Amino acid sequence: MSLRAKCAIAGLGMTKMGKNYDHPNATGFAIEAIQLALADAGLERSDIDGLLVNPGITWMDNPMLSVALQQAMGLENLRLTALMQLGGATAAAMVMHAAQSIAAGMANVVACVFADAPLRPPAPKTEKGSNGGGSAAAYGFARGLDAAYGQFGVNAEYALVARRHMHLYGTTNDHLGEIAVAQRAWANLNPQAQFYGHPMNMADYHSSRWVVEPFHLYDCCLVSNGAVCVIVTSAERAKDLNQPPVYILGMGQGHPGGEVMDTLTSGAPLAKQTAFRMAEVELKDIDLCQFYDCYTFTVLVTLEDYGFCRKGEGGAFVEGGRIAPQGVLPVNTGGGELSSFYMWGMTPLSEGVIQIRGEGGKRQVPKHDLCLVSGNGGVLVTHSTLVLGSKP
Amino acid sequence: MAETTKPIPRVTPELAPFFEAGKHGQLVVQKCESCGTLRFPPRPLCSRCLSPHAVWTPVSGRGEVYSFNVMHQVYHPGFAPEIPLAVVVIKLEEGAKMLSNLVGIKPHEIKCGMPVEVVFERLSDEVTLPKFRPVR
């Protein structure tokens, strides 16, 4: 039995992103996003019978988090719940789990939510030093012997993989900068983006400080407080709700194992195979892409791994504004994690929903019937693919 | 001593043979007794054949720079005087890879593929850390 177009995304809820201190913790943001998604879909709290939760970096302390969130939100009689954690691949994986469950008759309306709150309000001026929040505090951990060598944080791990790619294939910071500049241009068409109103050119990219070479500041994603919720239901039910259904045409995952630095390849080829077969589409059919972009480099590898170009040719592919507004392949049309907001896999997924519905405003892509959405977790170790469509 | 020192690794039971060998100027990695695959850092099982039987085996200490980054942010005050600091992945000539630092070279002179050899830096009575230097 194919699950092609059996289910749809019927609701999208997004809190304000970035330096948003409306709630003291991720739970508050999560509940707000779920309420927004219900209102968007035209559903009631009591309609929810499935709750899937992907906790961000500051929300990982409770191994039974989805039950805690159920209690906090007063949800009753759930038929499905789980905490899911594949890093940035989780958002799409939650949609898959929801769609499978709905198609199997095990649930009807499933809320999939991500929330995080790594940023703290500015400290009073009398206090000196850091307020303890932000990227370095949340993502600057070291494993095993790494700390003894000064290797801290996810940035440093990705930097090692990016450098290897540069060595083998001649990829340069100009190539990475093309991606950063393209996405910033998209963000400046998106009033919700954290970098809206902050244009950036190639000179700005090159003069931004090094975080960890070969990554400049603008090679690295933002850090955001907030939450995103999508509501998945059957395609039949979605037709009767407020929004045009965003049909889930294809779904797949790929987790290659082994040493990433040896292959420089993500799980995209494996995930794509499953998802494209289900969706009955080929790469040339895709109108636009929303790719997981924790780093510019991640976008480059993802373009290669889906087959838009050959391995090692991602740098040449993005030259000349090919993925920028007015380029031939629209990628990360809201500005992505680099320039809009960082809600892990919900950043590409939410923009995919917005574009398929045609709600992108100034950034709306004219042809938006088939959108490829990717999720990626760890250092290219988990991958998820969704093919979303405007028609069943 | 007023300055903040760099973090000194804990000598866990898993890593004790590694640090013991280091004290004597020898670089060792784990070797699967069943299929011969080398591995570092240590793991309880061979991920290739799943054998739990492994020995620590000396390696030449020669290898090449497989990849590297250059850290510009201070995550630990002990490293502040060394920033920008290159962290390198060394591919040993026997095949295993390990994270390390290079000595005797500036970060921007480092290249992937550069041949290197092990040197040892004593951090405490218990911990001597392998680092690498370019082979001239």
**CB contact, 8 Å: B30 with chain A?**
no
B109 part of a folded domain: yes
Chain B residues with beta carbon closer than 8 angstroms to that of A149: 87, 99-101, 129
On whether residue B6 sits in a domain, the answer given is no
Contacts of A152 (CB under 8 A, 6+ apart): A140, A141, A142, A146, B71, B73, B75, B76
Exposed, middle or buried, A257 (CB in 10 Å: 0-12/13-18/19+)?
A: exposed
B120 touches chain A (CB under 8 A): no
DSSP secondary structure of A160-228: HHHHHHHHHH---HHHHHHHHHHHHHHHTT-TTSTTTT----HHHHHHSPEEEETEEGGGB----BEEE
Domain span at residue B85?
Answer: 16-134
pLDDT tops 50 at residue B2? no
DSSP structure string for A110-157: EEEEEEE----PPPPTTS-S--S-SHHHHH----GGGGGGT--HHHHH
For residues A124-160, b (16+ Cβ closer than 10 Å) or e, as one string?
A: eeeeeeeeebebbbbbbebeebbbbbbbbbbbbbbbb
Shortest Cα distance, chain A CAs vs residue B8, angstroms:
6
| Alpha-carbon gap, residue B133 to B114, rounded angstroms | 10
Query: Which of B41, B100, B112 minimises the CB distance to A149?
Result: B100
Distance (Å, rounded) from C-alpha A40 to C-alpha A166? 44
Whole-number pLDDT of residue A390: 98
Domain count, chain A: 1
Q: Would you state the pLDDT for residue A129?
A: 45
Q: List the one residue out of A154, A3, A159 whose CA is nearest residue A88.
A: A154
Asked if this assembly's ipTM is beyond 0.90, the reply is yes
| Percent residues over pLDDT 90 in chain B | 94
The C-alpha atoms of residue A290 and residue A331 are separated, in whole angstroms, by 6
Q: Which residues of B touch A165 (CB under 8 A)?
A: none
Is A213–B69 a contact, with Cβ atoms under 8 angstroms apart?
Answer: yes
DSSP B10: P
Domain membership flag for residue B7: no
| Nearest-by-Cβ selection for A159 from B69, B97, B99 | B69
Number of structural domains found in chain B: 1
CB atoms B112 and A147 under 8 Å: no
Within an 8 Å CB–CB cutoff, is residue B85 touching chain A? yes
**Interface contact flag, A164 B112, Cβ < 8 Å:** yes
Q: Looking at chain B, how many residues does it have?
A: 136
Residue A68 structural domain? 7-120+223-239
* Residue whose pair of structure tokens reads 């709905």 in the numeric block: A102
Structure tokens at A202: 């190639």
**CA dihedral of residues A155, A161, A162, A167 (deg, nearest 10):** 150
Residue B3, pLDDT score: 54
Residue A227 is assigned to a structural domain of this protein: yes
**Is the link from the previous residue into B41 a cis peptide, with omega within 30 of 0?**
yes
Radius of gyration of chain B, Cα coordinates, nearest whole angstrom: 16
The residue ranges of chain A whose pLDDT is under 50 are 127-130
Q: Determine the Cα–Cα distance for residues A59 and A148; give it in Å rounded to an integer.
A: 28
Q: Is residue B32 in some structural domain?
A: yes
CATH number at residue A96: 3.40.47.10
Catalytic, A342? Answer yes
**Nearest chain B Cα to A135, which residue?**
B75
The residue type found at A351 is E
For residue A176, which of A303, A32, A35 has the smallest C-alpha distance?
A303
pLDDT value of residue A124: 63
A295 is catalytic: no
Q: What is the distance in angstroms between the Cα of B1 and the nearest Cα belonging to chain A?
A: 19
C-beta atoms of A210 and B70 within 8 A: yes
Give the model's pLDDT for residue A127.
46
Within an 8 Å CB–CB cutoff, is residue B118 touching chain A? no
User: Is A78 part of a structural domain of the chain?
Assistant: yes
A197 in a structural domain: no
Q: How far is B48 from chain A (nearest CA, A)?
A: 10
Strands A215-216 and A210-213, by their bridges, are antiparallel
User: How far away is chain B from the Cα of A114, in angstroms, using its nearest Cα?
Assistant: 27
Asked if residue B52 is part of any domain, the answer here is: yes
Mean pLDDT of B102-117: 97
Q: Is residue A277 part of a domain?
A: no
Q: Which residues of B touch A256 (CB under 8 A)?
A: none
In a domain, B2, yes or no: no
Q: Compare all CA atoms of chain B with the CA of A146 and give the residue at the minimum distance.
A: B99
